[in-house]
Chains A and B, each alone.
Chain A
Amino acid sequence: MSAKLFHYMKETPPDSVFSDIQTLNKFQDEQYGHLVQYVFGFLTDPSKSFRLMTQLEDFAAENGVSAGALKNVFKSFLSIPSNALKKSLTPEQIREDLINLGLSDAKADYFGEQWKTNQLALSRSALGQTLMVNQLLDMEWKFGVTAASSELDKVGNTFLQLKLVINTGNGVSNSYMELTLPQFYSFLHEMEKAKASLEYLT
């Protein structure tokens, strides 16, 4: 077999992928459409693997194919767009790869079009899965005035209390802190500078 260059993988894919794609060709267009939908549904939200499994089982039951074989075919089929997403391939490149793998032209075109429409949602979800260290989940604040204390009968200081809810890798932690008013104003000023930086870079 001539060594064709694939976009989604550096080396030639294993033979199992070729044979699984041939199996795909045997599906009717409507059934193929369902499978493509499952692919995109999973890629947009990879945490919902349970849902994918139930979808595949229902599909196998409805169409009279064995669930195990279907899962293998689906796995090979899924590997192509998931690698393509990591490399941010264009719809044409994906279409080329699918045709080189043996998929019929019509099915490859259909997939390419679906890829184009879903590309934005897919990239966004991939970005969302990117590692974030100590991500800030929520911030609660309250501010008030100290009326009196055990040492002073009349105090009049304003204070600001912040509660930050942070997602450390091992769970959610709350941190509490208090700011005086000048500190709050300088904090606000610096955060506005940071926001301007972020906007400039977007």
Chain B
Amino acid sequence: MCRAVKGSACKSVVSLSCYNLQCFSWISEGSNETLEFSIFFVARKNKIFDAPNKEAVLKTCQEAFLYRDRRNVPDAVLDRVAQQYNVSKVQASKLLKAVGTLMKNAVFQGSTDPADLIKLFPDDFHKSLRDLLAKIMIESMASWKSQAVNNQVSLPRMVDFDWRVDIKTSSDSIARMSVPTCLLQMKVQDNPLRVDQVPNVSNISVELSKETLDTMLDGLSKIRDQLSSVANR
């Protein structure tokens, strides 16, 4: 499967003069059981360290992270990856899955120290590739972490809220009065149930009398005091 290099010299410090399909498996650090991952990485001959290909690798890693939890990656993405690396669709899907799992592990252990990231790879892994992947991980770690936090399990989240103050001037029991009251509407979004649908947002409207609002504000102030005492510790 080795393809002969056509004349141009390899710029990398590694003595390999051509790249081919490489298959690696390693033990993931920090897990109790041995996980075997296979990563198929195909690089175009001679060009892995040139800028265009570095971008391609970066993009592949980002896509792999994006689709890391899906069972089936969309066909369009698979086609593009297959074309880019000159492999079949099946191999492209395996590539994305493997890269996705690798990125997931990197995000899980969370540190951006290169030494820690290098531990994720086995000792005989291709060094320049490993450094490139580590660099990509470090660059994207912050945005991936925030994506993971946004996706995590939670109660329905409040997205927005609105309030207004009305004055009730008359009612069935008293013909003339002037009672202020507060109306509060909160927009709450459920957790996503399907990957292709934005979860729906429900409106919760509540009416608060002055006493209720005072009591609620007392409770909220207690929360604020506790938060500031925790922050100061």
Instruction: Mark A residues whose CB is within 8 Å of B.
Output: 85-88, 123, 126-127, 129-136, 139, 141, 143, 146, 149, 151-155, 157-161, 164, 166, 175-181, 183-185, 187-188, 190-192, 194-195, 197-199, 201-202
Contact = CB atoms under 8 A, between A and B. Distances in A.
B224 A188 contact: yes
B124 to A, nearest CB: 26
A149 B153 contact: yes
A162 B224 CA distance: 14
B165 A152 contact: no
B220 interface: yes
Main secondary structure of the interface of B (DSSP, over half): mixed
B220 A178 contact: no
B180 A201 contact: yes
Q: 6 smallest A-B Cβ distances: which pairs?
A: A151-B148, A201-B180, A178-B155, A126-B173, A130-B171, A197-B165
Interface centre among A136, A141, A160 (most CB of B within 10 A): A136
A127 B188 contact: no
Interface in B149-206: 149, 151-158, 161, 163, 165, 167-168, 171-182, 184, 186, 188, 204-206
A191 B213 contact: yes
Interface residues of B, number: 55
Contacts of A183: 158
18 contacts: A86-B173, A88-B174, A126-B173, A127-B177, A127-B179, A133-B207, A139-B216, A149-B152, A151-B151, A152-B110, A159-B154, A166-B206, A179-B157, A180-B157, A188-B220, A191-B163, A194-B163, A198-B181
B119 interface: no
A11 to B, nearest CB: 17
A197 B213 CA distance: 11
A141 B223 contact: yes
Given A123-B174, A132-B209, A153-B108, A194 B155 contact: no
A160 B165 contact: no
Contacts of B206: 134-136, 164, 166
Contacts of A135: 206-209, 212
Contact of B167 (A134, A151, A191, A201): A201
Given A134-B205, A152-B110, A194-B163, A179 B158 contact: yes
Nearest to B108: A153
Contacts of B226: 143
Contacts of B110: 152-154
